Structure 1
Amino acid sequence: MSLKENMDALKEELNSEEKFLESAIKTERFIKRYQKPLIAGVVSLLFAATGAIAYQAYTEAKIESSNAALNTLLLNPGDKSAEATLKNDNPALYDLWKLSRGIAQNDPLILSSLKNSEAFGVADIASYEAAIIKSDAAGLENYTKRQGALYKDLALLELAVHALEQGNTALAHQKISQIGEESPIYQLGQSLSHYGVK
Structure 2
Amino acid sequence: MSLKDNIDMVKEELNSEEKFFEKAVVTEKFVKKYKKPLIGSVIAIVLIVAADIAYDVNKQNTITAANETLKELQAGSFDTATVARLQSLSSELHDVWAYSQAVANESAEEFSKLTDSKALLIGDLSTYEAAQLKGDKKLLEKYAKQKDVIYKELALVELALIAMNEGKIDEAHANLSMISSDSPLANVAKSLMHYGVK
The root-mean-square deviation of aligned C-alpha atoms, in Å, is 1.7
1:142 aligns with 2:142: yes
Cα distance, 1:77 vs structure 2: 5.1
1:9 aligns with 2:17: no
Instruction: Verify the 8 A CA contact 1:144 1:155 in the aligned structure 2.
Output: yes
Q: Within 2, Cα distance between the matches of 1:128 and 1:24?
A: 74
Q: Within 2, Cα distance between the matches of 1:83 and 1:196?
A: 45
Deviations, residues 78-107 of structure 1 (Å, cap 9, x unaligned): 143432221011101111211121121111
Where does residue 54 of structure 2 map in the other structure? Answer: 54
Amino acid at match of 1:82: T
Matches within 5 A, 1:1-198: 1-76=1-76, 78-198=78-198
TM-score when scaled to structure 2? 0.92
Cα distance, 1:52 vs structure 2: 0.6
Q: Within 2, Cα distance between the matches of 1:68 and 1:190?
A: 48
For structure 1, which segment, 29-38 or 147-156, has the greater mean C-alpha deviation from structure 2 after superposition? 147-156
Instruction: Verify the 8 A CA contact 1:72 1:79 in the aligned structure 2.
Output: no
Structure 2: gaps of 5 or more residues: none
Cα distance, 1:8 vs structure 2: 1.1
Give SS of 1:119's match. coil
Instruction: Report sequence identity in percent.
Output: 41
TM-score when scaled to structure 1? 0.92
Equivalences, count: 198
Amino acid at match of 1:133: L
Cα distance, 1:126 vs structure 2: 1.1
Instruction: Verify the 8 A CA contact 1:164 1:172 in the aligned structure 2.
Output: yes
